[in-house]
Structure 1
Amino acid sequence: MRAVVRRNKQLVCDEIAELEPAAGQVLVRTLACGICGSDLHALHHMEHMIELGRRGGGGDNGFDPSADTVFGHEFCAEILDHGPGSAPSLKKGALKAGTRVVSIPATLTAGGMELLGFSNRLPGGFSERMILSEALILEVPNGLPTDQAALTEPFAVGLHAVAKARMDANSVALVVGCGPVGLAVIAALKAGGHGPVIAADFSPRRRAAAEKLGADIVIDPARESPHDRWEALGVPKARGAQQMIRMMGGSFGRPIVFECVGAPGVVQALIEAAPAGSQIVVAGVCMETDRIEPSIAITKEIELTFVFGYTPEEFAGTLANIAEGRIDVSGLVTGKVGLDGVASAFTALGDPEAHVKILVEPAS
Structure 2
Amino acid sequence: MRAVVLRNGRLGVTDLPDPVPGAGEVLVEVLARGICGSDLHCARHGAAFGEAVRTAYGVGGFDPEQPVVLGHEFVGRVIARGPATTGRVPLGGRVVSVPALTRPGRPFPGFAGSETPGGYAERMVLTEALLIEVPDHLPTELAALTEPLAVACHAVARGGLGPRDVPLVVGCGPIGLAVVAVLRMRGAGPIVAADFSPGRRRLAEALGADTVVDPVRESPYRVRAEAAGAGRSARPTVAFECVGVPGVVQQIIAGSPARTRIVVAGLCMTSDSYEPAQAVFKELELRFAMMYSPEEFARAFARLAAGDLAVAPLVTRTVGLDEVPGVFAAPPASSDDAEVLVAPGP
Q: TM-score, normalised by structure 2?
A: 0.95
Match of 1:180 in 2: 174
TM superposition shift of 1:192? 1.1
Work out whether residues 282 and 306 of structure 1, in 8 Å CA contact, stay in contact via their aligned partners in 2. Answer: yes
The alignment status of 1:317 with 2:269, answered yes or no, reads: no
Match of 1:148 in 2: 142
CA RMSD of aligned residues (A): 1.6
1:284 to 251, 266, 291: 266
Change (3 A) 1:51 1:176: same
TM superposition shift of 1:99? 0.6
CA distance in 2, matches of 1:53, 1:87: 34
Aligned AA (1:81): A
Q: Runs of 4+ in structure 1 displaced over 6 angstroms? A: none
**Of 47-56 and 251-260, the range deviating more from structure 2:** 251-260
CA displacement 1:313-348 (0-9 Å, x = unmatched) = 211111122222211121322222222111112234
Work out whether residues 8 and 64 of structure 2, in 8 Å CA contact, stay in contact via their aligned partners in 1. Answer: no
CA displacement 1:107-133 (0-9 Å, x = unmatched) = 121x22111111013100010100000
CA distance in 1, matches of 2:224, 2:323: 44
Gaps of 5+ in 1: 89-93, 246-250
Match of 2:109 in 1: 116
Match of 1:192 in 2: 186
CA distance in 2, matches of 1:15, 1:214: 42
Match of 1:136 in 2: 130
CA distance in 2, matches of 1:328, 1:169: 22
Match of 2:49 in 1: 49
Match of 1:248 in 2: none
TM superposition shift of 1:55? 1.2
TM superposition shift of 1:31? 0.3
CA distance in 2, matches of 1:68, 1:260: 29
Work out whether residues 241 and 263 of structure 2, in 8 Å CA contact, stay in contact via their aligned partners in 1. Answer: yes
The alignment status of 1:11 with 2:11, answered yes or no, reads: yes
Match of 1:66 in 2: 65
**Of 25-34 and 317-326, the range deviating more from structure 2:** 317-326
Work out whether residues 34 and 360 of structure 1, in 8 Å CA contact, stay in contact via their aligned partners in 2. Answer: yes
CA distance in 2, matches of 1:305, 1:129: 37
> Bigger radius of gyration, 1 or 2?
1
CA distance in 2, matches of 1:297, 1:260: 19
CA distance in 1, matches of 2:194, 2:27: 42
Work out whether residues 206 and 353 of structure 1, in 8 Å CA contact, stay in contact via their aligned partners in 2. Answer: no
Percent of residue pairs bearing the same amino acid type: 49
Gaps of 5+ in 2: none
CA distance in 1, matches of 2:156, 2:274: 23
Match of 2:212 in 1: 218
Change (3 A) 1:321 1:348: farther
Aligned AA (2:31): L
Q: TM-score, normalised by structure 1?
A: 0.91
Secondary structure class of the residue paired with 2:208:
coil
TM superposition shift of 1:233? 2.5
**Of 137-146 and 98-107, the range deviating more from structure 2:** 137-146
Work out whether residues 349 and 355 of structure 1, in 8 Å CA contact, stay in contact via their aligned partners in 2. Answer: no
Match of 1:167 in 2: 161
Secondary structure class of the residue paired with 2:39:
helix
Aligned AA (2:343): E
Instruction: State the number of aligned residues.
Output: 345
TM superposition shift of 1:78? 0.4
Aligned AA (2:326): S
Match of 2:321 in 1: 339
TM superposition shift of 1:8? 3.2
Change (3 A) 1:270 1:354: closer
Match of 2:83 in 1: 84
